[in-house]
Each structure stands twice: as structure tokens, then as C-alpha cells.
Structure 1
């Protein structure tokens, strides 16, 4: 079977109409009836899935349920993280300056010729 004939057969099967009927068991009366194609059923299920996903995402984004999501960062914690990061940067600069000064002092105590740049050693 060639590819085109397989595709035509699949498309023809997707366009076939089927009847969905709900019947009352005791009276055999038809309660509900609708004609469907597999394409329509697929579209309805995909639309429902898309709507459900959108609702869940909106609930997680704009309600207190966002706390359920791991690694969710609030405004307060983000501000605290930024302050801590700034403090870490300041401390690392201070540590670098102290290590530089310590290296110069060690060189002076050992009697070596040490070049010390006092301008670059200042904390910013």
C-alpha cells in the first residue's frame, strides 16, 4: 500500500460520521443523540485539555496555590536574595583587599621588594 492511499484511507476514516445515542434502559426512549466525526471528537478533547491547562496555570500564577510550585520566588524573598547577594559581593571585595595587603606585609617581613598599590587596594 502506498503512502498516499494510506493517507486517503486515514482521512476518509476521520471524516466518517458516527451517531452517539443515549437511551433510557427501562423505556428504551432516546434521551440524547448527536452525530460525530473522529475529527470533531479529537478537537473537543484537545480544546478541553487546553482549557484545563490554562485554568490550572492561571490558578498557580494568581492565587496562593503558587506556594505549591517548588522554587517559586516571592517578591520579599527576591528582595532578600538581592540584599544577600550584594553583601556577599562586598565581603568578597573586602577579603580580596585584605589578602592583597597580607601578601604585601608577608613580602615586607621576608625582606623581599614588595610593590604596593594603595589606590587599587581601597575598598569600593
Structure 2
């Protein structure tokens, strides 16, 4: 156990030994500047510089148009155009269904399969309208029980807080 401690202490001492870095002009041997460093401070400063560089790079890529050059990312204009085209295609399909129903009804009238008095453009279009199913938004029994339980707990907690204040 003591040898482990000695080894750790030796490593820590090596990390904290002060060294001097001197920059000298080779022609005149003039000292331009010098630093007192230790291995630990160099390691910490290099690590912080790397983290800062990674953060800045990530920020630049994430919040500038540079992200469009990365494979897999699409431009915001392309996404906007795709949504507009999807909406237009949906409305065009709906209009196409209505037109097909109208044409079929006219064909029935022209072939004599349908009486003229029953033919009405509004009734034909009403057949093609897709009505979304209504959702049941009423609370279930378990949800009502949970609501009651939460309300009781809130009342109990508020009473405890009032008693603590007094």
C-alpha cells in the first residue's frame, strides 16, 4: 500500500515540477520571452483549448448555413418547399376525387341509370367529403380516480403548509 502511495506521490510531483520555456533569438542569443510551466498546467490549458475549439466548431456548424454541406442535413428552404408540395398534393388529390365522383354521376345520368330529378351536384360532392371520425374525449374511470387522488393530496399538502406557517 505504501509503495502505491509513493508511486502516486512521485507522479504528482513530476506533474507539478516547474520548468522554464525560453525563446531565444539564435543570432544574438537575446531572450525574447520565457515561461514557467509545469506539465499539469500545460495539460489543463491544452484540454481547455480543445474543448473550446470543439464548442466553437459545433456552434458554427449548428447555427449557420454551413450545416447544409454536411451529408444528411437538408436546407431549410428544401424542407419548406417539401411541406408546401405535400399540402398541394393533398388538396389536388381531394379535388381529383371530387371531379371523378362528379364525372361518374354525369355518366350515370347520360346512360340513363339515374333519374334526372335525383341528380344534384351538391349531393355528389357531399358523398366524396371525408369526414374525420370523432374522438371520444371523455375521461375514463381510471383518469377520474387519478384526478380525485391528486386533488386529495394537494388539499393535504396545502393544509400542511398552512400549519407550518402558523
TM range (shorter): 0.5 to 0.7
Q: Tell me, which stretches of 5 or more residues in structure 1 are unaligned?
A: 88-121
- Counterpart residue number, 1:40: 41
The CA RMSD measured in Å over matched residues stands at 2.8
* Matched residue SS, 2:71: coil
Bigger RCO of structures 1 and 2 (CA < 8 A, at least 6 apart): 1
When normalised by structure 1's length, the TM-score is 0.59
Q: How does 1:108-123 map to 2 (within 5 A)?
A: none
Instruction: Tell me the CA shift for residue 73 of structure 1.
Output: 4.0
Q: Give 1:1-124 correspondences, 5 Å limit.
A: 2-78=3-79, 80=82, 83=86, 124=132
TM-score (norm 2): 0.46
Q: How far, CA to CA, are the matches of 1:68 and 1:39 in structure 2?
A: 39
Structure 1 runs (4+) greater than 2 angstroms displaced: 73-81
Q: 1:63-113 CA distances to partner (integer Å, 9 max, x unpaired)?
A: 2210122222444444537x49xx7xxxxxxxxxxxxxxxxxxxxxxxxxx
Q: Distance in 1 between matches of 2:7 and 2:74?
A: 51
Deviations 1:21-62 (A, max 9, x none): 001111111011010010110111111111111111111012
Alpha-carbon distance in structure 1 between the residues aligned to 2:3 and 2:73: 52
SS for the counterpart of 2:22 is: strand
Distance in 1 (alpha carbons) for counterparts of 2:8 and 2:79: 54
Structure with higher Rg: it is 2
Aligned residues: 90
